[in-house]
Amino acid sequence: MSETPRLRIDDDTWLLVLTGAGVSAESGIPTFRDAGGLWEQHRVEDVASPEGFARDPALVWRFYSQRRAGMASARPNAGHRAIAAIEERLGDRFLLATQNIDALHKDAGSERVVELHGNLYTSRCTVCDRPPFEDREAYPDGKLPGCGQCSARGDFALLRPHIVWFGEMLDPADMDRVQDFLLAAERHRLVFLAAGTSGAVYPAAGFVDAARRLGGETWLVNAEPAANTSAFEHFVEGPSGTVLPALFAT
Ligand code: BJW
């Protein structure tokens, strides 16, 4: 890794950070597309699409139950902590949009967080309009969890993980939060920084273009070039747990 370049953060800086699976890799959580990643062991369309869930909900629940169990002991790393620390410095001039569902940013102390792809420890009913609720259960293999509210009425209704799968819309309120932040930042010094993401999944992969259209300075921190590296002005190649603390310390 070459010497980390300077990222200037002054009193007029508004910072939007986007994170992906790479930021949690140093906490022992597998990424998706790296060698040994989750998609090497599972077909995306089987475990992360509404069609896959309709076809085989038990397989999907096994996948997410295993991840709930596997992540239970994971702790935030230096990258998560550096992001939480810069938020403390910037306050409302900071927003974190994460594609990660592992909640490690919140564990590290981040508060202004948008979980674009949902949360591993939240479920929702596939039938009733009960709001999504906390659910840390790693269900035994083959068990199809039902909604307590529906079963109280004598109906069985399947629960599903509160995760955004391929082909599903992200929560419009989450997208609005990102958009509103960018628009508010336009009158200031906007910096957009993406870390630990392959830049392959939209709409998050397009945030860099939105930031550039608004005149923002753009940074990518990743272990290797991402699919959208050329859209960034600055690319720092290296592990986020080392690069982010150094970048934010300047
Ligand atoms: C390190 C490191 C270390 C390792 N330090 N770095 C426009 C164009 C084309 C297609 C579309 C489009 N707009 C929408 C689409 C369709 C689709 C899409 O993007 N397809 C692409 C594959 C092309 N998007 C959607 O369907 C989204 N919905 C949507 O847009 O609705 C409207 C719509 C629908 C249909 C058509 C058009 C519009 C929903 C996307 C939901 C993604 N969900 C998943 C799974 C659920 C979460 C879960 O189970 O965990 O989210 S997919 C998976 O990918 C997961 C991740 O959040 C997401 C991104 O992955 P990420 O975080 O980048 O991880 P990796 O593994 O890919 O990369 C890690 C990187 O870190 C690597 O580069 C490493 O090198 C690096 N790294 N260690 C720093 N220590």
Report long-range pairs for 202-208 (Cβ below 8 Å, ≥24 apart).
203/170, 203/175, 204/18, 204/20, 204/97, 204/99, 204/116, 207/16, 207/18, 207/97, 207/178, 208/232
Confidence of residue 67 (pLDDT cuts 50, 70, 90): very high
Q: 191 C-alpha vs ligand 1 centroid, how far in Å? A: 22
Confidence of residue 12 (pLDDT cuts 50, 70, 90): very high
Catalytic residue among 117, 162, 188, 234: 117
Report the atom number in ligand 1 closest to the C-alpha of 39: 66
Q: Which of 23, 33, 189, 200 is nearest to 103 (CA)?
A: 23
Structure tokens at 249: 């310390």
30-41 average pLDDT score:
87
pLDDT given for residue 153 in this prediction:
93
Higher per-residue pLDDT: 180 or 34: 180
Query: Which of 170, 202, 221 to mutate to test ligand 1, by most ligand atoms within 8 A of the CB atom?
Result: 202
Confidence of residue 224 (pLDDT cuts 50, 70, 90): very high
**pLDDT beyond 80 at 2:** no
pLDDT given for residue 37 in this prediction:
85
* Non-local CB neighbours of 173 within 8 Å, separated by 6+ positions: none
* Element (DSSP H or E) covering residue 113: strand 113-115
Do residues 105 and 98 make contact, with C-beta atoms less than 8 angstroms apart?
A: yes
Task: For residue range 69-120, list pLDDT tens digits in order.
Answer: 999 899 999 999 999 999 999 999 999 999 999 999 999 999 999 999 999 9
Task: For residue range 84-95, list pLDDT tens digits in order.
Answer: 999 999 999 999
132-151 average pLDDT score:
96
pLDDT given for residue 113 in this prediction:
98
